[in-house]
Amino acid sequence: MPRTAYVNGAYVPLRDAAVSIEDRGLLFADAVYEVWSVFGGQLADLDGHLNRLERSLRELKMAMPMPRASLLTVLNEVVRRNRILEGMVYLQVSRGAAPRDHVFPVDVKPGVIITARPVDREAAALKAEHGIKAMSAPDIRWGRCDIKTTGLLPNVLAKQAAKEQGAGEVIFVDADGFVTEGGSTNVYMVGDDGVIRTRSLNANILAGVTRLNLLSVIAESGLDIREEAFTLEDAKKAREVFISAATSLVMPIVAIDGQPIGNGAPGLVATALREAYIDRAHRTAGV
């Protein structure tokens, strides 16, 4: 089935979808984005992502491109037109198109693009049964990783390097040896004390919406979770390491830099949390 995109007010076939070559998202990465998971045709964690979108825009002194209710209508329409039951939706808002100049243009309309695509949940489940390998890399990103901008070149290069080493994610490590987050995920470890640790949000990381919800899933399951820094060495010696994001949900990490984590297989905590998270998403979607 041909895919449909939303571009600046119109629903168009994906192959014809285009933005101006003067769009500031293209020229300066002067744009923010969000990614939703879709379960049973419903956008998961809808408000969490919209809240973060509003915050990212505010931090960049950009306005919402349309009222929240209208945006929701458009997002759902893209899901509907692409007949997505299980999948993901991508939204990008740029400052708009204007002759290239670093300073903000006046009176331009923001650029809005939305796409959706299906996700093979069975393939994802199989991947989670095996877990994925990770590679560590120095966190060389800028000081505002709390804003979800499309300026992702350090992430792109690090994830490509990880792929070339047979790893599915990169784990960023700060100058003091502490894990910050993944290339496109938040990172957690389970220590010998059974405590789950993840970096606190004041450490120049993205406030993952999946992270936020996972923290409440963890609290509900009676497990001990602390927003505390841990080193790469702690992670390598941990019982379990796992990551979270809207796309990968909860994914076990079975090796870092070629060193097996625990017994080298997905851990019980990560596996249980993945199931609990998916159950919660299905319940919320009413499917």
Residue ranges in contact with ligand PLP by CB under 6 A = 35, 181, 184-186, 206, 208-211, 244-246
- In whole angstroms, how close is the CB of 142 to ligand PLP at the nearest point? 12
- In whole angstroms, how close is the CB of 151 to ligand PLP at the nearest point? 11
Nearer to ligand PLP, 74 or 207 (CB): 207
CB 163 within 8 A of CB 224: no
Nearer to ligand PLP, 91 or 245 (CB): 245
Active-site positions read 148
Nearer to ligand PLP, 84 or 245 (CB): 245
- In whole angstroms, how close is the CB of 13 to ligand PLP at the nearest point? 27
Nearer to ligand PLP, 79 or 97 (CB): 79
- In whole angstroms, how close is the CB of 136 to ligand PLP at the nearest point? 15
